[in-house]
Structure 1
Amino acid sequence: MPSFPPPPDMTDHAPASLYARHVEVLQARTAIALERAGLDHLVVPSGSLHYQAFDDRDYPYAVNPQFKAWLPLVRNPGSWLVITPGYRPKLVYLQPRDYWHVVPQAPSGWWVEHFDIVVVRTADQALAHLPPAGRSAVIGEPQSALGEYAPNNPAAVISYLEYHRAFKTPYEIAMMREASRIGVRAHRAAETAFREGLSEFDIHLAYCAAARQDANDLPYGNIVALNEHGAVLHYTELDREAPPEARSFLIDAGAGFGGYACDITRTYASDTAGEFQALIDAVDAAQRGMCAQVRSGVDYRQIHLDAHLALARILREHGVLKISPEAAVETGVSGTFFPHGIGHGIGLQVHDVAGFAAADSGDARIDKPEGHPFLRLTRTLAPGMVVTIEPGIYFIDMLLEDLRGGPHADAVDWSRVDAFRPYGGIRIEDDVACTDGDPLNLTREAFAEG
């Protein structure tokens, strides 16, 4: 791993003052990636608008992650970046003449001084400002093709850049801090809406209003689940009517800032003195311990395996399991109640890339633990990595039916399962940065700010 990214335990939290070093790091990574591919230029389209079949409606635009790695621009289709080692990066900025839509403002802000900027009025005009296509790594989607600039996505370049994206610069940590602050503000508004008895749909609207972000601006679709819906891992239906009784509330929702994401989950009980609240508190305490494991040199897979044991211990203490936590893990019973991975990398994308890469060459993968197919990250942690830690306990009918019909049915007190089933499930999720010392919990930090 190159040593050029500074450690992320800095005290300066202002993105503007950290940006110059971020660009230097990206330029250094690009130079190595291009050398490995035998190419001279990195050309990155911001992406294009896509239109629905048999219609003139466009899909929500999503910027190319390789583009927003360099720039805090997320609403600029048709623009291009050119990075040539030894030269200042160049931005070809599409600012069309258009009276049908709002035209992007002229480039401005603390980032512009680091780029040579060319403004074009039509997409085709960008061609005159791009280097020879045959000597370029063109990184993007097929729909971004412009003349001979069809993305070729050379594997050597993609593998190197994506592997090293796991190591966040201080600028990136600062951007994720801001995303976390926005997300926490919206989470607080969502909890208030739940306590007021609103529907899932109305809670979702309260969240978006507090974040000041529309659903298409968020880094992923909000999971807003009341009662049994909390047992659906990716529940996004958003019932328009409130249930007669709201017993529990699980919200998994993020926010974006300058192209970077946060990913936060919390679970609440209407009865703050009841058994389900006690179960939430136990998962929350265990989750804090798992976050403390995010340290340099730790195998992320071990955090996942340790989580199974910790959650099985909670289920045993609350009378759900009749067997030991160790036996629950060994027999796979724990997977009935915790059927997903402990988390994933996060940054420019909620599920960040290269989670299984063994090296920056891209030709080797680190296997998932046997019997744990849904873990999204298997790498050893190092300073600069940011990961989610999201343990959960769920009462999912389909999985419970399989357990009840299998050889380990007597491992569970089914009356206790029935008591918790109406609450759906619990998930607690934080975004945690690995440093040279103690982990930096971006989520808890934002909640602590009030």
Structure 2
Amino acid sequence: MDIHHPDLHPLFAEHMATLTQRSDAALAKAGFDHLLIPAGNLHYQFLDDRDYPFCVNPQFKHWLPVTNAPGSWLVYTPGRKPKLVFLQPADYWHVVPEAPAGYWVEHFDIIIIREAEEALAHLPKDTDRCAIIGETGSALGPVVPNNPQAVIDHLHYHRMCKTAYELAMMRVASKIGARAHRAAEAAFRNGASEFDIHMAYLASARQTEHELPYSNIICLNEHAAVLHYHSLQHAPPAHRHSFLIDAGASFHGYASDITRTHSADTGDAFQGLINDMDAMQQHLCARVRAGQDYAALHVDTHRLLGGILKQHGFIRMSAESAVEAGVTSTFFPHGLGHPIGLQVHDVAAFAADESGKSIARPDGHPYLRMTRTLEPGAVVTIEPGLYFIDMLLAKLKDDTALAREIDWQRVDAFRKFGGIRIEDDVVCTEGEPENLTRDAFAAVGQR
């Protein structure tokens, strides 16, 4: 899939200017003259000749929208035009990557090679002056990734703030994901199994499982209580109660990450719980603003969730007491969200600055994936949840004092639904946040 947009050329030019500026600063700080980024190589399964699906180095695809170029290299020297050493092998066993073309090629000196070893002739000879960022398996002769931490810390810290070009790519990824979510919900309403819902999603997104930014989570009924559920039952359940889908899409190397929860009966108590969780989630999305402490937003989510648990009769204690006692963590054991971009769980989520210092998680919240203060250009997910997880509920029930504060009959009635998670990708701007996910659903005619 490709897009044709009159603003892509200037957007990409501005993107390149930003990357070169950041790279110049990182190299100067760490004392290197060149930046080398291998795309990566194919990896083979143990005791077999089958390769795993290729996964490109995120640093490589930050520079150009090429995600299937094993054996290729990006070379940047401050003051010079970036060089792309592109491996296009003579191969009749596999599909050969297409020659570089499109809105981005004018920004690179492109050299086509036929054998991986030919890249050596086009890489800097003074390898000790090179910052080489890649996995160990990308080594080529004397060119071995050294992954200097000072360079990585600088680049990762600034990668939190997306360029206008990156946001354009993420808007497309969101629209693909929203369209596929709509197809998945239709399959659920028609009585499909988890496997068939998954296939409907892939068909609508027009992406294979390996092209998606992460493996789909598709849960019917109590399976929604497994946070990373991937089993995909082939037969539909005897009774349909609920459907939770956590699935995204990719576009030019950028990810979307979307979660929705549906009730089989849109007039039941579970739908009412979904509605209140949705209202809370939208309130949290509206608070994605410059200067917002993300960790504080996560902690406040527990207070809001305590109110919902009280309102719907799951707890007898106050919302504040439920937070203080850790009861809300039984129902919401994961973090509020994470950065997203080139990777679905993007980098530098805990970075205090570009030097590598980090910001600790709040006490009692070990699974929070981000602690940074938001700034314009940051894109984060907002994904509060409410689950009925047998293992965690059993632990709560063992605490005699706290167990008295729970309406177990009410809780037991909701176990069959598994749980609720609602997730949007939200851009922090200079003013009102941009909700990529809600905008995408509006474009395809669904919330």
TM-score scaled to structure 2, two decimals?
0.97
2:105 corresponds to: 112
3-state SS in 2 of match to 1:387: strand
> How far apart are the structure 2 equivalents of 1:187 and 1:287?
18
Report runs of 4+ in structure 1 exceeding 4 Å deviation: none
Distance 1:14 1:402, change over 3 A: farther
Which amino acid is 1:280 matched to?
Answer: I
User: Equivalent residue for 1:445?
Assistant: 439
Q: Which stretches in structure 1 are left out of the alignment for 5+ residues?
A: 1-11
Matched ranges for 1:156-305 at <5 A: 156-305=150-299
Structure 1 window deviating more from structure 2 (14-23 vs 36-45): it is: 14-23
User: d(CA) in 2 for partners of 1:37 and 1:13?
Assistant: 38
What is the aligned partner in structure 1 of residue 79 from structure 2?
Answer: 86
Which residue identity does 1:120 align to in structure 2?
I
Answering whether residue 313 of structure 2 is matched by residue 339 of structure 1, we say no
Q: Deviations for 1:197-240, whole angstroms, at most 9, x for unmatched residues?
A: 00001100100110000001100010000000000000011011
Alignment of structure 1 residues 316-331 onto 2, 5 Å: 316-331=310-325
1:20: which partner in 2? 13
Determine whether 1:63 maps to 2:56. Answer: yes
Report the alpha carbon displacement of residue 14 of structure 1 after superposing the two structures with TM.
Answer: 4.5
Contact 1:175 1:258 in 2 (8 A): yes
Partner amino acid for 1:33?
A: A
Q: Tell me if 1:315 matches 2:315.
A: no
Q: Are 1:279 and 1:318, in contact at CA under 8 Å, matched by a contact in 2?
A: yes
Alignment of 1:24-173 (within 5 A): 24-131=17-124, 132-173=126-167
Q: Is 1:436 matched with 2:447?
A: no
Deviates more, 1:55-64 or 1:12-21: 12-21
Q: Distance in 2 between matches of 1:17 and 1:267?
A: 39
Aligned positions of 1:389-428 closer than 5 A: 389-406=382-399, 407-428=401-422
Q: For residues 338 and 300 of structure 1, what CA distance do their matches in structure 2 show?
A: 17
1:384 matched to 2:377? yes
SS at match of 1:384: coil
- Whether the 8 Å CA contact 1:13–1:174 is kept in 2: the answer is no
Q: Which residue of 2 aligns with 1:306?
A: 300
Q: Distance in 1 between matches of 2:336 and 2:37?
A: 33
SS in 2 for 1:273: coil
C-alpha distance in structure 2 between counterparts of 1:142 and 1:424, whole Å: 41
Aligned residues: CA RMSD: 0.9
Counterparts of 2:45 and 2:337 in 1: how far apart (Å)?
Answer: 33
User: Residues 13 and 262 (structure 1 numbering): CA distance in 2 closer, same or farther, change over 3 Å?
Assistant: farther
Secondary structure at the aligned position of 1:93 is classed as strand
In structure 1, C-alpha distance between the alignment counterparts of 2:429 and 2:403, rounded to whole Å: 43
In 1, the alpha carbon distance for the partners of 2:240 and 2:193 equals 9
Q: Percent identity?
A: 62
Structure 2 CA distance for aligned equivalents of residues 14 and 377 of structure 1: 32
CA contact (8 A) 1:15 1:175 kept: no
- 2: distance between equivalents of 1:385 and 1:246? 38
Unaligned runs of 5+ in 2: none
- 3-state SS of paired residue (1:69): helix
Partner of 1:9: none
Q: Quote the Cα distance in structure 2 between the aligned partners of 1:117 and 1:13.
A: 24
The Cα offsets for residues 386-407 of structure 1, whole Å up to 9 and x where unpaired, read as 0000000000000000000013
SS at 2:244's partner residue? Answer: strand
Supply the AA of the counterpart residue of 1:400: L
The one-letter code sitting in structure 1 at the alignment partner of 2:208 is D
Q: TM-score, normalising length from structure 1?
A: 0.96
* Aligned residues of 1:14 and 1:174 also touching (Cα < 8 A): no
Letter in 2 for 1:47: G
State the shift of 1:13 in Å.
Answer: 8.9
Look up the match of 2:360.
367
Report deviation, 1:410.
1.1
